Structure 1
Amino acid sequence: MAHGGLQALGLALAGAGWLALLAATALPQWEVSTFAGDSIITALVTMKGLWMSCVSTSTGQLQCKSYDSVLALPGHLQATRALMVLSGVLGPLALGAAVAGMRCTRCGGDDARKKAAVAGAGGGLFILSGLLALVSCSWYGHRIVTSFYDPTIPINLKFEFGSALFLGWAGSALALLGGSLLASSCCSRGGGGAAKGGGYPRARTPPKGAPTSREYV
């Protein structure tokens, strides 16, 4: 039962992480304009994401514009896009394998070892998805830090971490943790009955004087 509980916990954490990665990929708040060094209140806030850039005014209005050309984008932005999209595509595959391999489902037959292997494969896909997202978010964050401390860039053109970047880090951490719990199920030997004894009956020697018989445990 504990083994099935860890599988359910891993699936919940990994699923929540995958949803967070999808939200982070779609949101435009990967980097926001900084007001460091400004002596007046700026009425406009610029935000940049993977697919569009937005400008928010002090009155609450938000105007966004999608990037016109993919080839005109910087190399780090194109790579981040590709890694985050690939991370999101791996999510449904990992989710399907994890659900099919869980002990509480009837998918994939009744072979405990085979189901554990399928659940472990789903966990491995979640780990790969989390690693891709972690690399892309960290790379993007490194570029923000490098540009922020570059003295040749004016202060009004510098950016800071946005909420979508933090969401991406949190989602990758949840995917890695949940995937690790699912992957550990293929190495555990929990469960009773056939899972412990290899599925074969074990003969017990009857006491002297008792009729000869075979008992199964």
Structure 2
Amino acid sequence: MAHGGLQALGLALAGAGWLALLAATALPQWEVSTFAGDNIITALVTMKGLWMSCVSTSTGQLQCKSYESVLALPAHLQATRALLVVSGVLGPLALGAAVAGMKCTRCGGDDPRKKSSVAAGGGALFILSGLLALVACSWYGHRIITSFYDATECPSTSSEQNLGFEFGSALFLGWAGSALALLGGSLLASSCCSRGGGGAAKRGYPRAKTPPQGPPQLPRP
């Protein structure tokens, strides 16, 4: 029972991490501008994502524009896109393998060792997906830090310009999704090594041989 519960917990965490990565990939709040002007009424907040950039005003209006040319994008943005797309594609494959290899499902055969290997394979795919997303988010975050310090060292002369960009909510969501995918995938992968209860036969020990019983002996007179 503990073996199946560990698989269910790993699947829930990894699935939640994959969904969080999908949401982070689609959201435009990867980096948010910091305002340095004095006029708060006409302040503009610029948000940049992987697929579009948005501008929000203090009145609540939001305007977004998709990136037109892929070749004109920076190298770190193209690499982040590619890594997160591959990470998102690995999610359904890992989810299918994990569900097929779980102890509480009937698909994938009845051999417990084979099902555990399939579940561990799904966990390995989740781990790979989380690692790709973690590399992408960390690379993007390092780029934001470098650009921010470059902007603060050479600030603009105009008071209505933004100093730089800081971490957005989508970037934190991507880090959280990567951590959940890694944790859930590790729990699923560990199911290949864990052994459930149920007697000596399930633990791999030989069964005790019972001596053959002959015909019942009649009592002597």
Q: Please say whether Structure 1 and Structure 2 have the same fold, judged by a TM-score greater than 0.5.
A: yes
- For 2:154, which of 152, 155, 161 is the aligned residue? 152
In structure 1, distance between residues paired with 2:61 and 2:96: 41
2:108 equivalent to 1:101: no
Inter-partner Cα distance in structure 1 for 2:93 and 2:155:
43
Residue aligning to 1:176: 182
Could you tell me which runs of 5 or more consecutive residues in structure 1 were left unpaired when the two chains were aligned.
213-217
1:215 paired residue number: none
Are the aligned partners of 2:3 and 2:195 in contact in 1 as well (CA < 8 Å)? no
What corresponds to 2:20 in structure 1? 20
CA contact (8 A) 1:33 1:159 kept: yes
Q: Does residue 39 of structure 2 align to residue 33 of structure 1?
A: no
Show CA shifts across 1:65-118 (max 9, x none).
000000000000000000000000000000000000000000111000000000
Unaligned runs of 5+ in 2: 216-221
More divergent stretch after superposition (38-47 vs 107-116):
38-47
> Which residue matches 2:219?
none
Equivalenced residues, count: 207
Q: Which residue of 2 aligns with 1:115?
A: 115
2:71 — aligned with what?
71
CA distance in 2, matches of 1:167, 1:18: 11
Structure 1 residue 130, shift from structure 2 partner: 0.4
Distance 2:214 2:53 in 1: 85
> Residue 169 of structure 1: CA displacement?
0.3
Q: 1:189 corresponds to which residue? A: 195
Give 1:195 shift.
Answer: 2.5
- Distance in 2 (CA, whole Å) between partners of 1:188 and 1:16 is 23
Structure-1-length-normalised TM-score = 0.90
Q: CA RMSD in A?
A: 1.8
Structure 1 residue 188, shift from structure 2 partner: 1.1
Q: How far 1:43 sits from its partner (Å)?
A: 2.1
Aligned to 1:61: 61
1:171-200 Cα deviation digits (max 9, x unpaired): 0000000000000001112232542247x7
Q: Which of these two proteins has the greater Rg computed from alpha carbons?
A: 2
- Identify the residue that residue 43 of structure 1 maps to in structure 2: 43
